[in-house]
Amino acid sequence: MADDSAAFRVAAIQFEPKHGAVEENLARIIALCEGAAQQGCHLLVLPEMATTGYVFASRQEIAPLVEPIPGPSTERLVKVASAHNCWIVIGLPEHDPQTGAFYNSAALLGPQGVVGKVRKVHLYAADTHWARSGTLGFPVWETPFGRLGCLICMDACYPEPARLLALKGAEIICFPTNWVDERAPGADWFTRAFENGVYWIAADRYGQERGVQFSGGSSIIGPDGQLLAIRDEGDGIVAGEMAPRAVRDEAGREELPDRRPELYPALLLSPPWALEIFPRRFCHSAPLPEGQRSTVAVVQLGDDALEPEAARARAAERLETFREAAGQAIDLVVLPELAFIPDPACAGAWAEPIPGPSTDWAVKLSRDLKAWLAFGLPERDGTICYNTAVLCGPDGVSVRYRKVHLNRRDREWAQPGNEGPVWVDLPLGRVGFLIGSEAFLPEWPRVLAILGADLICAPSAVRGPRPVDLPPTRVPLPPDLCAIPDAAYWHLWRARAAENNLYVAFANRGDPPFMGWSGLFGPSLLPRTEALIKGSGEQITCLQVDTRDVLDDGRPNPVRYKALIRSRQPHLYDALTAARSGREEV
């Protein structure tokens, strides 16, 4: 980057193409680009398939509209870039003359010509009628205003592509899209920006095409996961100003932990075979439990800085009261990270052995409640301290997981654990473990999902990222989408559950400076299956989870089917496990 101190203006251009009308679409695209350049924007991003529209039934139907890159459409837009000294990203259907293959592609154009192109790797259902999965990987380009990467639409539904761009140094991700089945900005957009510390420029289309309703909502999202600018509907320009370097120290990002790529070999595994086709014993390295319906509770501890013994007594009292009020048995209870100490900043001073006072208390309470208890504590093993989570049952401590991804606050008192992913099979299903800010890293929940986790226990003590609200939309989305509240629309732990097709039990501390907002989140964004605690303070909530292979209506259970795990493209993910020198942060 030439000047780290310089800011520049960018534009996400929202545009509704007319199906099949390339010349008409290009004329309107050029007018919008010239308008954005006249507003002082130097980087312009247009939607996916902007020259042609999106919904095509076959290769034969789209064949007259595909073109090479460079080609006629990119040549016309290079003239615009040259005249206005700007850079343009546009989505279009590409023809590769050497192989005859068609791709859903995007091109980066500068004043001197075509800089590069990407081909959509993770295809949506409509793409598969005519397009081949992308063959170019995930390149990053140097530009006068920073390092750019580009993803296309469904590529954002998977954490791996954006992470690969970040590992190559991308500071800005351009995102041509035709978003459907969700409001826009999509939850994945916020997640990819936050977890990688990048700016996210999303250019979406709106309107209907052949019965498909697109979401609009073109937007710019900051590296802290906050919404900077948005356009709900209609053609137009979403302009914003960017600092050239990704922000690292906004709310929540000061807690960003180290990556541990040596612990991620499972990211390179191929998708599992279907349970309904092959017996359970062939679908995972360890056969999955049968699964069942179970009730899981999360406890958000509140405002009083109590000594450990008093804090444990209060938690037991609250749990007993909650169980009586709920009138039902609870199978698993998850409490926060460093749950029973008054000041996590001094965690080392409160460290205790395992077994010790806290685990002895939990085993006794487990017998009383007839439930499993998961929680976090500062562990002392000789002279070494760990940030640890345990699972206690009637017979003792069943799981001990020492946090392997430490953030800056952890490193002041704790050593990292060196054990790989930890999970245990219970009657309610396969249960994995992570602690607090480890959820900021997409790799760790992903590894647990690949290894068959039905539910992740996430004892936490985090300050952010706080949920993001959306303004109301005028886009005529289906009723089930419109019914989703705009408040707390993006919640990182909900996103982790949905992208990994599992349940997440997020039990956060609710005392200052921690944000609260604990919850239980289900394996799909739609329909939402969750129990959310709004805000801080001391609260408890519960949710019935279902980990059986097949639901009552005969459909495969998303927790077991894991569609987003099956459709990964791990042959492109080698860099996720590559050894890197020194302590790595992304």
Active-site residues, by number, are: 48, 120, 153
The β-bridge partners of 220 are: 201, 229
The two tokens of residue 528 are 């939402």
The half-sphere exposure of 520 on its side-chain side, counting CA atoms within 13 A, is 23
Q: How far apart are the C-alpha atoms of 204 and 235, rounded to whole Å?
A: 10
The β-bridge partners of 272 are: none
Spatial CA neighbour of 335 closest among 309, 373, 307, 304: 373
Q: Which one-letter amino acid corresponds to residue 7?
A: A
CB proximity list for 285: less than 8 A, separation 6 or greater? 451
Q: How far apart are the C-alpha atoms of 432 and 547, rounded to whole Å?
A: 14
The 3-state DSSP class for residue 143 equals strand
CB proximity list for 344: less than 8 A, separation 6 or greater? 337, 338, 409, 461, 509
The side-by-side arrangement of strands in the sheet containing 102-110 is 113-119, 102-110, 87-95, 41-45, 8-14, 236-242
In angstroms, the Cα distances linking 322 to 311, 316, 333 are 16, 10, 12
In angstroms, the Cα distances linking 11 to 142, 190, 221 are 19, 17, 12
Q: How far apart are the C-alpha atoms of 279 and 264, rounded to whole Å?
A: 26
The answer to whether 176 and 90 are in contact (CB under 8 A) is: yes
In angstroms, the Cα distances linking 432 to 457, 465, 466, 519 are 6, 22, 24, 16
Q: How many residues are listed for the chain in this entry?
A: 586
